[in-house]
Amino acid sequence: MGIGAPRWMGIMAAVSFVYAIANFLLIMPSANGKSTNQDLFAVGGTGHAMAFYAAALWINWAAVKRRELGIVWECENGHKLAPADKFCSQCGAKTKSSAGGVGGG
C-alpha cells in the first residue's frame, strides 16, 4: 500500500494505531460508566485522530509519488492490475515494467 512513500511514514502510521489502541484500553477503566467526561474523550479521541491522519498522509503521499515516478499497475494491453499481479487476469499479458521494477513488474 505504501509503495512510493518513505518507510518511516508507514512506521509512523503503524505506531499511531498501536498508540490509539493502547490509549483506548488504558482510558476505558477510567471512564467508570461516565459517558460525558470531556477530558477522557479528548485524550481518547486524539489517539484515534492521530492514527487516521497518519494513515491518510501515508496513503496519499504514496499515491502522489507513484504518479511522479511513473509507477503503474497495468498489463501490456492497458488493463488495470493489482500491485502483486504478474499477469493480467483479463487477457493473460505480462505486466508493464515500471520505475525500476517497483509495482507491476
Contacts of 103 (CB under 8 A, 6+ apart): 3, 4, 66, 71, 72, 73, 83
Residue predicted with more confidence, 89 or 18: 18
Residue 83 has pLDDT above 80, yes or no: no
In the structure, what pLDDT confidence band is assigned to residue 102 with cuts at 50, 70 and 90?
very low
Whole-angstrom distance, CA of residue 84 vs CA of residue 10? 18
pTM recorded for the entire structure: 0.58
- pLDDT the model gives residue 100: 41
Residues 63 and 86 in one domain: no
Residues 46 and 82 in one domain: no
Number of structural domains found in the chain: 2
Residues 61 and 88 in one domain: no
**Number of other CB atoms surrounding residue 17 within 10 Å:** 17
Dihedral Cα 7, 11, 5, 85, nearest 10 deg: 90
Residues 16 and 61 in one domain: yes
Residues 21 and 61 in one domain: yes
Range of the domain at 79: 72-105
Dihedral Cα 86, 105, 80, 11, nearest 10 deg: 100
Residues 52 and 96 in one domain: no
Residue in the block written with cell 488493463: 79
Residues 1-59 have pLDDT tens digits of 567 788 899 899 999 999 999 888 887 766 666 555 666 777 777 888 899 999 999 98
